[in-house]
Structure 1
């Protein structure tokens, strides 16, 4: 039991000034995904019965390649931000939290890099 007042314990432990930035990034990536998802779904549905050459030529168009790259980056960034919040809120064992945060960061970076390379190869090679 402590004789210190709760205000005295909390003083100097103000916000890290990071929460608002994280919140805004999550909202901006959500808006980007909301705008890009209809394009992605329509493109994917139109290419369902297409052959390999048609898919490559469609993704090789500059507008489609740019939209695909933007979609992929927004998707993985949004996923990283969301998973980070889930881990921070529900994992209370410090070593497990750090391990999961690092794993999520590397997994999202690796997946986004692989996606960017794949789209770039399709756009450049065609």
Structure 2
């Protein structure tokens, strides 16, 4: 026979909510320097033509930083929207959650392919 506390221990939102909270914070912190780098890069490329931008994007450091920015941005977006969905969407919660994850994945993949086509 187990007590009520013994049965309840390990249950609740704290099992999955803490990880979600941490990942959301880590992506937000990672996006601060990536966003600053991206804005500075765009401003320096403001009056460049397409071959110059392709050459810039073809540099390995810039390619990796662009990919990291896109991945972190769409993952952070998906995590943030998931919190809103969990808090406010009551009807068709599963469908909206799948739409959120699918849209973030699809838009992220389109962005990654565009960066790789530009870089190579």
When Rg is computed on C-alpha atoms for both structures, the one with the higher figure is 1
Indicate yes or no: 2:113 matched with 1:117: yes
* Cα distance in 2, alignment partners of residues 92 and 104 from structure 1: 15
Paired residue for 2:12? Answer: 15
TM-score, normalising length: structure 1: 0.84
Paired residue for 1:56? Answer: 54
Q: How large is the Cα RMSD of the aligned pairs?
A: 1.4
The gaps in structure 1 that reach 5 residues or longer are: 1-7
Per-residue displacement from partner, 1:14-66 (whole Å, max 9, x unpaired)?
22511111001000100110110110000111112110011100111000000
Question: In the TM superposition, what is the alpha-carbon distance from 1:115 to its structure 2 partner?
Answer: 0.8
For these two proteins, the number of residue pairs brought into alignment is 113
The gaps in structure 2 that reach 5 residues or longer are: none
* Cα distance in 2, alignment partners of residues 99 and 48 from structure 1: 41
Paired residue for 2:68? Answer: 70
Indicate yes or no: 2:66 matched with 1:104: no
Q: Secondary structure at the match of 1:31?
A: helix
* Cα distance in 1, alignment partners of residues 73 and 114 from structure 2: 16
* Cα distance in 1, alignment partners of residues 73 and 53 from structure 2: 21
Indicate yes or no: 2:49 matched with 1:89: no
Which stretches of structure 1, 4 residues or longer, exceed 6 Å deviation after superposition?
A: none
TM-score, normalising length: structure 2: 0.88
